[in-house]
Structure 1
Amino acid sequence: MSQATTGHLAKIFVDHQDALLDGWLNSMLSRLVRRDKAAEAEIRQQAARFIPLVARALDKGQSYDIDQASWAEVRHLLSDISAARARHGFTPTETATFIFSLKEPLFALLRQTLEGNSSALATELVETGALFDQLGLFTVEEYQKGRESIIQLQQHELLELSTPVVQLWKDVLALPLIGTLDSARTQVVMESLLQKIIDTGASIAIIDITGVPTVDTLVAQHLLKTVAAARLMGADCIISGIRPQIAQTIVHLGVNLEDVITKASLADAFMVALKRVGASVTYQNAV
C-alpha cells in the first residue's frame, strides 16, 4: 500500500457525504443483532462524526497511513467507540462491522466516479480496502484494550468483595479468606484489613483460612506479611482454620509461625480474642 493518496477518495468523502452516510447506515443497521432505538441513534451519531473526520484526515495529511498525526482525530473517535462497545457487551465482530460495513457503499461510489478509468479504479479499490482494513484492525485492538481494562476492574472489585473484614466484637475483627491467596489478593487483603483497623481501632484480627484450599510457602509468606503489617498498626493477629493437612504442610515447608497464635477453628480463635480484650461469654440455663 502506498502512503500518498490519489485524491479520489478524499473527493468522494467531501462531495458525497450524505449518500455515503445513508449507504453506510443502511449496511450497518441491516447487520445489527440487537435492534433498539437508542443503539441506532448512537450509531447514526457516530457515523455522522466519522465521515467528516476521515475526509479531513485524507485532505490534510494526504496519506493512507493512519499512524500519521493527520489521523489522530479519527483514531481518538474509534478508540471511544470501541471502549463504549466493550462496556456495552458488543462482540469484536459487531465492533469491527462499524468500519468494514462502510466498504460496500464506498466502493460503489468509487466505481461510479471512476467509471471508464479502470486502472485508476483498480488502484483506488486496493488502496481504499487496505486503508479500511487498517482502521478495522485498529478498532478491534482498541476494543480488546477496553475489554482488558474492564476485566481488570472487575477482578479488582471481585477481590475486594471476596475479602470482607467484619467486626465480630468490640476490638475484634475477622477476615475470612476463601480461594487462592496470591500477591495481588494479598495486597487487597492487607489494605482492607489495615483500613478496618484504622476505622475501628481494633486490637485483635482473626485471619480465617478455612476456605483456602492449599497453603504453600508463598501463601504462608503472604500471611506473615499481613500479620506483620497489622502489628505495625497496633493489632495482633490470630490465624484460624489450621487443618491437619495444612499444619503438616507448614511444618514440612519450615515456615516459622511460632510467634503467631493459630487455632483450628474460627470459634476457638474468637474465644482467644475475647480473653485478650478482657471479655467473656457466659451461658445461662433456661428457667
Structure 2
Amino acid sequence: MNTRIHEILTKYQSELLDEWLAAIAASGVRRDALMKEGELRDQAAEFLRLLTRALEQGNVSDINTPAYASIRDMLDRLSRSRSLLGLSPTETATFVFSLKLPLFERLRREHAKESQVVADELWAVTVLLDRLGLYTTEIHQRTREEVIARQQQEMMELSTPVVALWDRIVALPLIGTLDSGRTQTVMETLLQRIVETGAEIAIIDITGVPTVDTLTAQHLIKTVTATRLMGAECVISGIRPQIAQTIVHLGVDLSDVVTKSTLASAFSWALKRLNQTIGGGPRSAALKG
C-alpha cells in the first residue's frame, strides 16, 4: 500500500504541491497577514519531501516509527511557530488535511479501473493524514499551555515585588490569593532580596489579600519561618479587623509573629527595632528613601 502512495508522491510531487496550495487557499483559513505565500510553499514542499521519504522507509499506518521522525520534527516546528503567531489549532491542522483532496484525485486517476485498490489507498491516506493532522493539534495545544504557564509565572513574579524601604528593611506587598505555587515564589523572591540587601527586617503586607483561610495562614507562617532561618525578623502588616477575626476563628496561632494593622505602623516598628530615626517629618523621610 505504501509503495503505491509513494509512487504517486514521487511522480506528481510538483503537481501535488500546486494543487495542495490551491486547496489551502480554498479552505479559507490561510492568514496572509501572518504568513507569506513563499513561506507556506516552502513548508508544503518540505512536508511532501519528508512524507515521500517516510513512506519509502516505513509503513503508512504508524507515524511514531523512526521513519517518521523527520516529519514529526517538521510538524513540531510548524505547529509551535503557528501557535506563537496566533493561528488556531484548526488553521494549523488544515495545513495537513488540505492535502487529502489533491492526493485523492491523483490516486483515483492512477487506479481508476481498480476500485478496490482505490478504496484501500484512500483509506490508508485518510488514516495517515488524519494522524499527522491531529499530531499538529497536540503540539499546538502543548505550545499554548507552555506559553500560558510561562506568562502566569512571569505575572506571579511581577506581583511579588520586594521593595527596599530603608537601610536593612525590605517590604513585600502581597495582592491577590496566596496559594502553594505563589508561596514558593514569594519565599524565593523574599529570601533572595534579604541576601542581596543584607536586610534584617522583612515586612509582609497582606492589605491586598482578599481573604485569609487556614491554608493562607499556613503559607504565611512558612514564609516567616524561612525568613527567620535567614537571620531576619519578619512582620506581617495589613491585618484588618475581618482578617483578625477569621484568624482567631480558624484557631491559627500567630502569637510568636509580629503583626501590625498597617504597613506604616510595621515600618515604624522596624525603625525602632533597629534603633533608627527619621528626622524632618514624613516628607523628608520620603525624600531620603
Q: What's the TM-score bracket when you normalise by the shorter of the two chains?
A: over 0.9
Are 2:203 and 2:234, in contact at CA under 8 Å, matched by a contact in 1?
Answer: yes
Aligned mate of 1:22, from 6, 18, 24: 18
Q: Percent identity?
A: 54
Q: Deviations over 1:141-191 (max 9, x none)?
A: 111111111111111111001111111111111111011100000011111
The answer to whether structure 1 residue 281 and structure 2 residue 275 are counterparts is no
Task: Provide the secondary structure at the position in 2 that maps to 1:258.
Answer: coil
**TM alignment of 1:1-287, pairs within 5 A:** 5-30=1-26, 31-36=28-33, 38-283=35-280
After the TM superposition, list the runs of 4 or more consecutive aligned residues in structure 1 that deviate by more than 4 angstroms.
283-286
* Cα contact 2:162–2:189 (8 A) shared by 1: yes
Does the aligned pair in 2 maintain the 1:111–1:121 contact within 8 Å? yes
Contact 2:174 2:205 (8 Å CA) reproduced? yes
Q: Is the 8 A contact 2:260 2:266 kept in 1?
A: yes
Q: Deviations over 1:3-44 (max 9, x none)?
A: xx3421111111211111111122223424531385433322
C-alpha distance in 2 between matches for 1:29 and 1:63: 27
Measure, in 2, the Cα distance between the counterparts of 1:97 and 1:285: 64
Q: Give the direction of change, closer, same or farther, for the CA distance of 1:189–1:41 in structure 2 (3 Å limit).
A: farther
- The CA RMSD over aligned residues, in Å, is 1.8
Structure 2 residue runs of 5 or longer lacking an equivalent are 284-289
CA positional deviation for 1:116: 2.0
Task: Identify if the C-alpha distance between structure 1 residues 63 and 127 changes in structure 2 by more than 3 Å, giving closer, same or farther.
Answer: closer
Q: Measure, in 2, the Cα distance between the counterparts of 1:282 and 1:78.
A: 66
Q: CA deviation at 1:232?
A: 1.3
Matched residues, number: 282
